Amino acid sequence: MHIAKIASSLEEDMRFGRRVAIASIAASCVLATANIAVGRMAGSTTVVAAGVEFVGDVIASTFVLLGMIFGSRPADENHPYGHGRVEILAGLTVGIILAAGGVGICYRSLGRISEIHPPPGVYAMWPLIGAIVLRSAMSAFKFRGARRIGSASLIADARNDAVDIVSSVTALAALGLTLFDPGRFLAADHYGGVAVGLFVIYTGLRILRDTSMDLIDTMPHAGTIEAIRCAAAAVEGVRGTEKCYARKTGLKYHVELHVDVDPWMTVEDSHAVATQVRSHIRSALPAVGDVVVHIEPHRPV
């Protein structure tokens, strides 16, 4: 019954994550179309660069969605820990796409700095303002959702949105400078495109770092380990805890814990304690998917 409850909760989290990813793809499609179309009509490198960035967001969010779909598959004979690592790989792919896209945006914008052309149209500001408003709402929503379900790829997508806000504000400032005095600051619009590219590169590299930590089984922060120990200690028959390891597989942590019991306890009774410890930790900590409990004889110091 308890296992069914855990599986149901995981599937619910995955469904929520998929809905958020789909909404993000739709929003990014609108922003990409608006910024590229208006940027080209108005002759603004910065706005076109922002639009290209949003195209990258569409691709990134698509990988997040695919990660959610394939990562929700249950464990099988060849994948006893489930398919959750697919979701982390999706986050890693998002980082690669963004870093590469940022380099492309910088290259394109730098190539136009020396060009002489009419200043952009004032209406080029509107898609950037729209992007700031929409991205602010999406970023806040994604961060709350990602922390709720513990999704690495959704957190990566939320961070990307947060950087989109900063890059859009920077692009708006650069465009505003060009419109204020085209004679002196015509190139500011192009430098704004470079700034957008740098923001995208930074986001991609940060996502690559964070998702790589999960892939190499980096331990969670000390507070999570302490919470696991406390949950185990609350079970009757537990005299103490020793080694405690945890690694993230998708949305959940898999824990290996050594528990001390009375050395004269029967094998059957100690096995019952281990089962209770596993069940109690999973109930108390939703972020924990499974626990392997090793029984050790308690030796007072």
Domain at 276, CATH number:
3.30.70.1350
- CB within 8 Å of 19: residues ≥ 6 apart: none
Of 181, 215, 249, at which residue does a domain stop?
215
pLDDT at 196: 80
Same domain, 120 and 254: no
Give pLDDT tens digits along the chain (301 positions).
Answer: 444 444 455 566 667 777 777 888 888 899 999 999 998 888 888 888 888 878 877 877 787 777 777 766 777 778 777 777 777 787 788 888 888 888 888 887 887 777 776 788 888 889 889 989 988 888 888 887 777 776 666 777 777 788 788 888 888 888 888 888 887 887 888 888 888 888 888 888 888 888 888 777 778 888 889 999 999 999 999 998 889 999 887 667 889 999 999 999 899 999 999 999 999 999 888 778 889 999 999 887 6
Q: Are residues 211 and 226 in the same domain?
A: no
Say yes or no: 204 and 229 in one domain: no
Q: Measured between alpha carbons, how far is 71 from 246 in angstroms, rounded to an integer?
A: 19
Specify the number of domains making up the chain.
Answer: 2
Do 255 and 245 touch, CB atoms closer than 8 A?
Answer: yes
pTM of the model: 0.67
Tell the residue number behind the tokens 């970023």, with chain if given.
139
Q: Is the domain of 114 the same as that of 233?
A: no
Residues 207, 288: one domain?
A: no
Instruction: Taking the CA atoms of 74, 75, 77 and 78 in sequence, report the sign of the dihedral they define.
Output: positive
What's residue 277's pLDDT? 93
Q: Are 58 and 127 members of one domain?
A: yes
103 and 158 fall within a common domain? yes
48 and 119 share one domain: yes
- The per-residue pLDDT for 4 is 45
Same domain? For 180 and 237 the reply is: no
Q: What is the pLDDT of residue 228?
A: 92
Residue ranges in 72-124 assigned as alpha helix (H): 85-110
CA 125 from chain centre, in angstroms, equals: 29
CATH number, position 144: 1.20.1510.10
Is the same domain home to 244 and 207?
Answer: no
Place of tokens 């004032």: 122
The DSSP letter of residue 236 is T
Residues of the domain holding 51: 2-215
Q: Which of 214, 201, 198 is nearest to 254 (CA)?
A: 214
| 191 and 135 fall within a common domain | yes
